[in-house]
Structure 1
Amino acid sequence: MASTAARAGSHPQPPGLSFPAASHTTRHGAETLAIALRATECLDARGAFLHRWDPAARRLRLLASSGSATESAEAWTELSDGLDVAPVRALRRGHYTWVAGDSLGTGGGGVAAVPLLGAEGPIGVLSVITAGPGEPEEAQRSFLRSVAGWAAARLDDVPGAPPGRRSAAGSERTVQMGKLTSALAEAVTSREVVQAVAAHVMPPFGADGLIVWVFESGRQHVVDSAGYTKEFLTRLDGLAVTDYPVAADVFGTCTPRFIESAAEYRRRYPALKPIPAASQKNAWAFLPMIASGKAIGMCLVSFARQRSFSDEERTLLTALSGLVGQSLARARLYDVEHAQAQDLQRGLLPRTLPRLPAACAAARYLPAGRGQQVGGDWYDVLPLSADRVALVIGDVMGHGTPEAATMGQLRTAVRTLADLDIPPAELLSRLNDLVRELSEDSYATCLYAVFDPITRVCTLSLAGHPPPVVVHPDGTVHKPDLAADPPLGAAEPPFETHQIVLPEESLLVLYTDGLVESATRFLDQGLARLRQVLAQHAESAFTSCDEDDDVRRLDDLCETVISALLPDHDRTNDDAALLIARVRAISPGDVASWLLPDNPRAAKQAREHVHAQLAAWDLDELAVTTELLASELVGNVIRHAKGPIRLRLLRSRSLTCEVYDGSLSTPRIRHAAHTDEGGRGLQLVAALSKRWGTRYHHEGKCIWTEQDIPHHAA
């Protein structure tokens, strides 16, 4: 096919419309043809042709085609008046014609043709290739005649066509309808379809109101509206179609209803007498929205003043309803798929974030605004032993369900590895292996950080991910200058370990690149904006009065950051995740630590230290159990490991007892026989503690236990 420029000069080709190489169509003419052909799509047509009659040559000459009909356009370029095909029959008879079968290789079940009638007879033919073998129904035939009548009045925009009679207002409406066609082609969601109609239909007709309903299970549901109050829409939303007679008429006959005054409305529908006054409207056009040959809903265009509708306006509004119906049907499929995908994504993210002694957090996830369904951004907050907390955020590169599934696998893997209490660098190394096993083309960025509230050290590793931002209580915002290793799937371990000493209270802000980087903003600009917003608004996060208030203020801060950095997130093309955690150091008075001798006397000393410290903390109720736990753990070190030995107690929401040694051996619970004299130490530890486990460090390991603190003591 010839290029767009060759077909239409400097004017852009309307979406889905094809011109023969010999056609030189003006912009207005192209818009007219586009509207006519696009309108036929609501009839579930495979394609359509629009011919102009050349009386001198006694031929129908092709002006434009759409859909799959463009593949057969060559055979339809010129049709002599002697051919026995649907367009020629319609031309000769001067009325609607149906021919079953595939006479000209269109691949359809039949052809329905309607002549374009001028002042002195037919001036062209609009032909629709139907998908099935059956003839269109009467409602569809009526709609096709309306489209043909509207197109016939506008063929004077096409060079060589007979002159038609039309008003200046009609010309302007045709221009607006061409814009509507383009806007509907770009609309993705149902709301965008309604917004396009409001922008391009209401002004040219002088309308004051718009409601778009869909019919589902015998009820009408409002998709969106303009010019109506929420209270009025509530009265009609979800109403049974049979309880709204005008909708029943439109839905049952697939034909429009035009009402030119409030008096006429009340006369025709006495059961709806309160509606005109409640809506503050005095003229209405109720238009069926047809897709795949069925009415899927109704479009209401209304006017504050009573008015009459000319034949031209009625024909044009009817044609428009077909365009809107076809676009809305497509958009609703997207809405359903998008909602399901978003539910999947949210199901893979944490429903709530834990409130921990050393940290509370709030987060936001925003999917890409348009054209994407799901992505791979994720975050999590995980409790570790000794009141430490792990903060993680990541981004699987790409968009779609496979990326969301990969994200879910990585999040599950991180939770499993975090339970092993391994260092951040080692955790990312194992994630890197997992990403490589999933796919050769899978890549992901990740930040994994562990905050220790006793030392105030935040240990983290980065795999292709931007570093966190730290906010101090005085409002100072600091972004550590940390070098990131390559993304997961492309990195070669080991990963580098970074350490940051945080103030006693601070905010740790983690984010994905979708928050700070876009097609219109560089990364450095986005980071500068993030730091500016945090400096202006983070102060309130440090002035909360209780834990619930902490979370509310962090949640408000997340909302403020998102609104400032992504004010128009509906149009973004990348996911964004934000995690803000308020971290706190533990008071030195809640931690006690002792070095023990590397000999059998260590167990006795451990019991003495525990007894004295719990008495000082008013936790005498836990003394006997904790002494036994400490004694067993120290005894295991004496028998199976090596020194140096250190005992530490930590008081917060629970009581933690830790024993450190210089061995990397792994303690395991044995299944001792009834006759065995030993081997039950760790069984006893597991029975007496709420949780217990082991973590390793560069000098050895730590075995820890946790017990609940009584409520009155807490």
Structure 2
Amino acid sequence: MATEPEPPGPVRRTPPAQATRSIAAANPLRTTPGLTAGRIVPPVGRGLPTRTGDSTPDWLEPAMAANGIGSFDWDIRRDVLEGDQRACAILGLDSETFDRSSASFLAMLHPDDAPVVRRRVERAVAELGQCGAYYRTVFPDGELHAVRFRGRVLADAFGRPSRMVGFVWDATVELHKRERADELAALREDRSRFIKEAARALSEAVTVRDVARVFTELPLPGLPPDGLALASLEAGRTSVLGASGYTHGLMDRFDRAPLPPGHPAAEAIRGRAPVFISSREDYRARYPEAWAWADESGRSAWAFLPLIASGRPIGVCVVSFDEDRELDTDERTLLSTLGGLVAQSLARARLHDAEHELAAGLQRVMLPRTVPAVPGVTTAVRYLAAGSGLQIGGDWYDVVPLPGGHVGLVIGDVQGHDVHAAGIMGQLRIALRAYAAEGHPPAAVMARASRFLADLDTDHFATCTYAEVNVDYGVVYAVRAGHLDPVVRRGDGSSHVVPVAGGLPLGIAPDEEYRVTRFSLDPGETVVLCTDGLVEARGMDLDTGFARLCDVVSGYLPALGESAQDPLDELADRIASQAADSSEREDDIALLLLRWDGPAGGRAAQQLRRRIGQADLARIAELRGELRDALRRWGVPQLIDTAELLSSELVTNAIRHTDRDAMFTARLYHEADGGGARARLRVEVEDESDLWPTRRTPGEQASSGRGLMLVEALADGWGVEPRGSGKRMWFELSAESAESAEDEG
């Protein structure tokens, strides 16, 4: 706190005879020649010149008294400090306890100021010059005062320092001014820091709820409020977004209520300027119509801040205090600045919420609202929006009931992450669902979907995996178009990726032919289909992502009945929770799980139904494989060879001699036969042609015409039946049932 001395003025020493009290000053003479063992050694030779009479002129004393200036005289050799009554009063000295030494004087100074005063006095003594300082001193009652002094060192006849004489005056008022200035500077710094922190916090607030939370938690520096409220304005009504310091009942009455014109908030919005109210009397006098609400709030001072964004009022902030408060200019400026920050943040958050709601609504429309229930299987789906952007994209899932009680699973991702991609996804999902529901085989469904996307001419492509699940006996026929392989969780809890033959993404090559991969499930096993957002992210490659997914899928799952929800839902929740955090995830995620529960009662439904495309001859080979598996599961393997041959003949005949698709159906019936039971297999092939088959007798060199002859020779019975449009050809085979054979064994 010490400052450089100002230029010295005329100094007159007060004679010791006029000093009534002693004051302390720094003693620099520990390094002054002539001092021994801390004692003052009187100089040898002539003494100091002395004055006679009153050394203070008559005109100087009134001036010093009027300005509160005291004088001091410090005998450097004897280390004795003396001063007049004003000096003692300024320094708060007690003549009974003060021993007039420099050490006692320094002990009274503020610890931060004493070293500075000591150094300056020592320098003045060493240089026979002058010094001055501003320092703080503590009075006996503990009160802090400030003092300024100026002094000059006088030399004796030998040029050695002898005395220091000078003036001292009270600077406590200056101290208070400095303290107040320091407080104001600190307060301004706190307010500047508060504005920066508030701007940062509000800029990070994404939703309207975030803005309300940040506002109601703001610690206003220098004027801590007792109540904060944030309300938006919509169609002349206020909607409370957040509040602190108010009861819920009071806010509920204010929420969704029209804003009366006589309310201070209405005036702030109309005038687009803050309204400050310093007391309850001021409020009642200025706004009598709105006094009831203010009276119930229990507050005594208010600030109503209009929220103006792009020149349009969007809401109001209310800052209230329990005590009367007249806000100064700086406080009003702070609140006005805060209102501007909140307005901009709220406008941005409202736009974000509107865009998010639009995106969410569009996504809900594009994705199936519910997943159909299919007997024999359990499904679970999840969709996680991307952590940034519009939170809408081209990922989708679908579950399609198929003819014959089977089910189709679809998971896909259209290129891009915007509304355009979502629109294409919606069209593609509907088209693919229609193709699958018509009964087309998986390869044909995928090929037709690719041609459909190419015909849209959108310059977008899509990846997709389509799997048809035979609910009767748990066989999966999967087709992949540039998408991810499925993951299967086995009955023992292990999981692995099932390689599926892949083709180009949809829309790239319209004539692409897709290959089908067949794998089977046991009861209780689960197929997991997902989009790449689940297994790919920054810092995580595809292999690592699949390894993490398999670890999650392989975790423990409770058995049915052990948990409040189905274990499949728990698995879906666990997979979704392990996905990258929304703030880091750059892509949305679609997740589809299907568990094959197995046949009801432990016995598979003994029916196989398939549609065969008119130009899809490869489907006939697939049908033969399915029929073999079905008959083996149904316990009549002795019928496999004959049923496979005759079914091929009927299906080929329908495809070759018509221009429409054929529907193949195989059913196994169990009939009582005396003391045992026999199994009867009935195979039907339906087409839409009215041309009936004709039995011929081909020659030895003929290449056709033997189909019906084989049917007639090998089948226990066969025939042709008319339908509304087209016909139905059928044959039956009989065999001893597996149950009867076991009984006889």
Give the structure-2-normalised TM-score: 0.54
1:352 and 2:370 correspond = yes
**Could you tell me which of 709, 716, 723 is aligned with 1:682?**
723
Amino acid at match of 2:594: A
Q: 2:226, 2:543 → 1: CA distance?
A: 46
1:420 and 2:461 correspond = no
Matches within 5 A, 1:450-465: 450-465=468-483
Deviation at 1:447, TM superposition (A): 1.3
Distance 1:472 1:301, change over 3 A: farther
Q: 1:315, 1:443 → 2: CA distance?
A: 56
Residue 513 of structure 2 is matched in structure 1 by 494
Deviation at 1:638, TM superposition (A): 12
Residue 135 of structure 1 is matched in structure 2 by none
**Could you tell me which of 519, 530, 539 is aligned with 1:511?**
530
Q: 1:254, 1:371 → 2: CA distance?
A: 33
Residue 576 of structure 2 is matched in structure 1 by 562
Residue 623 of structure 1 is matched in structure 2 by none
1:300 and 2:321 correspond = no
Q: Which moved more, 1:475-484 or 1:505-514?
A: 475-484
Q: 1:553, 1:275 → 2: CA distance?
A: 53
Deviation at 1:220, TM superposition (A): 1.0
Cα deviation, 1:12-44, whole Å, max 9, x if unaligned, reads: xxxxxxxxxxxxxxxxxxxxxxxxxxxxxxxxx
**Could you tell me which of 198, 219, 233 is aligned with 1:215?**
233
Q: 2:237, 2:548 → 1: CA distance?
A: 48
Distance 1:589 1:521, change over 3 A: closer
Amino acid at match of 1:300: V
Residue 323 of structure 1 is matched in structure 2 by 341
Deviation at 1:593, TM superposition (A): 6.8
Cα deviation, 1:69-112, whole Å, max 9, x if unaligned, reads: xxxxxxxxxxxxxxxxxxxxxxxxxxxxxxxxxxxxxxxxxxxx
In the alignment, is the contact (CA less than 8 A) between 2:216 and 2:229 conserved in 1?
A: no
Residue 573 of structure 1 is matched in structure 2 by 586
Q: Secondary structure at the match of 1:569?
A: coil
Residue 272 of structure 1 is matched in structure 2 by 293
Q: Secondary structure at the match of 1:399?
A: coil
Q: 1:561, 1:510 → 2: CA distance?
A: 11
Deviation at 1:210, TM superposition (A): 4.4
Q: 1:536, 1:229 → 2: CA distance?
A: 47
1:400 and 2:418 correspond = yes
Residue 368 of structure 1 is matched in structure 2 by 386
Q: 1:244, 1:211 → 2: CA distance?
A: 19
Q: Secondary structure at the match of 1:296?
A: strand
In the alignment, is the contact (CA less than 8 A) between 1:473 and 1:539 conserved in 2?
A: no
In the alignment, is the contact (CA less than 8 A) between 2:233 and 2:314 conserved in 1?
A: yes
Q: Which moved more, 1:395-404 or 1:520-529?
A: 520-529
Q: 2:212, 2:529 → 1: CA distance?
A: 37
Q: 1:421, 1:347 → 2: CA distance?
A: 25
Q: 1:192, 1:396 → 2: CA distance?
A: 32
Q: 1:648, 1:423 → 2: CA distance?
A: 20
In the alignment, is the contact (CA less than 8 A) between 2:386 and 2:586 conserved in 1?
A: yes
Deviation at 1:357, TM superposition (A): 0.5
Matches within 5 A, 1:628-667: 647-649=666-668, 660=683, 666-667=687-688
In the alignment, is the contact (CA less than 8 A) between 2:216 and 2:242 conserved in 1?
A: no
Give the structure-1-normalised TM-score: 0.56
In the alignment, is the contact (CA less than 8 A) between 2:530 and 2:591 conserved in 1?
A: yes
1:172 and 2:186 correspond = no
Deviation at 1:288, TM superposition (A): 0.8
In the alignment, is the contact (CA less than 8 A) between 1:193 and 1:324 conserved in 2?
A: yes
Q: Secondary structure at the match of 1:683?
A: coil
Distance 1:428 1:260, change over 3 A: farther
Residue 241 of structure 1 is matched in structure 2 by 259
Q: 2:402, 2:362 → 1: CA distance?
A: 28
Residue 467 of structure 2 is matched in structure 1 by 449
Q: Secondary structure at the match of 1:290?
A: strand
Cα deviation, 1:408-430, whole Å, max 9, x if unaligned, reads: 11111111110222222222222
Q: 2:283, 2:574 → 1: CA distance?
A: 48
Amino acid at match of 1:218: G
Q: 1:183, 1:164 → 2: CA distance?
A: 28
Q: 1:444, 1:420 → 2: CA distance?
A: 22
Q: Secondary structure at the match of 1:242?
A: coil
Structure 1 vs Structure 2 CA RMSD = 4.6
In the alignment, is the contact (CA less than 8 A) between 1:365 and 1:576 conserved in 2?
A: yes
Q: 2:274, 2:307 → 1: CA distance?
A: 9
Q: 1:176, 1:533 → 2: CA distance?
A: 45
Amino acid at match of 2:589: A
In the alignment, is the contact (CA less than 8 A) between 2:226 and 2:320 conserved in 1?
A: yes
Residue 385 of structure 1 is matched in structure 2 by 403
Matches within 5 A, 1:452-491: 452-482=470-500, 484-490=502-508
Deviation at 1:262, TM superposition (A): 8.0
Deviation at 1:456, TM superposition (A): 1.5
User: Gapped runs of 5+ residues in structure 2?
Assistant: 1-180, 609-646, 657-661, 671-679, 692-718, 733-745
Residue 353 of structure 2 is matched in structure 1 by 335
Residue 143 of structure 1 is matched in structure 2 by none
Residue 100 of structure 1 is matched in structure 2 by none
Distance 1:307 1:479, change over 3 A: farther
Cα deviation, 1:653-708, whole Å, max 9, x if unaligned, reads: xxxx99646x8x943589xxxxxxx998221899xxxxxx99xxxxx999xxxxxx
Q: 1:526, 1:266 → 2: CA distance?
A: 66
Distance 1:250 1:446, change over 3 A: same
Residue 330 of structure 2 is matched in structure 1 by 312
Amino acid at match of 2:399: V
**Could you tell me which of 583, 587, 601 is aligned with 2:596?**
583
Normalized per residue, which structure has more helix? Answer: 1
In the alignment, is the contact (CA less than 8 A) between 1:529 and 1:565 conserved in 2?
A: no
Q: 2:669, 2:316 → 1: CA distance?
A: 67
Q: 1:580, 1:536 → 2: CA distance?
A: 15
Amino acid at match of 1:562: A
Q: 2:191, 2:324 → 1: CA distance?
A: 20
Distance 1:482 1:636, change over 3 A: closer
Deviation at 1:640, TM superposition (A): 6.0
Q: 2:468, 2:514 → 1: CA distance?
A: 15
Q: 2:455, 2:215 → 1: CA distance?
A: 49
Q: 2:453, 2:725 → 1: CA distance?
A: 40
Matches within 5 A, 1:702-713: none
Amino acid at match of 2:377: A
Q: 2:681, 2:269 → 1: CA distance?
A: 74
Residue 74 of structure 1 is matched in structure 2 by none
Larger Rg: 2
Q: Secondary structure at the match of 2:413?
A: strand
Cα deviation, 1:361-382, whole Å, max 9, x if unaligned, reads: 2322222233225211111111
Amino acid at match of 1:681: P
Q: 2:519, 2:469 → 1: CA distance?
A: 9
Distance 1:499 1:402, change over 3 A: same
**Could you tell me which of 553, 558, 572 is aligned with 1:534?**
553
Cα deviation, 1:232-287, whole Å, max 9, x if unaligned, reads: 6544321222299343343343332445678987886531257536xxx7765431
Q: 1:570, 1:221 → 2: CA distance?
A: 29
Q: 2:653, 2:322 → 1: CA distance?
A: 92
Q: Secondary structure at the match of 1:582?
A: strand
Distance 1:523 1:592, change over 3 A: closer
Amino acid at match of 2:531: T
Distance 1:473 1:593, change over 3 A: closer
Q: Identity of paired residues, percent? A: 37
Count of residues in Structure 1 that have an aligned counterpart in Structure 2: 468
Deviation at 1:505, TM superposition (A): 1.7
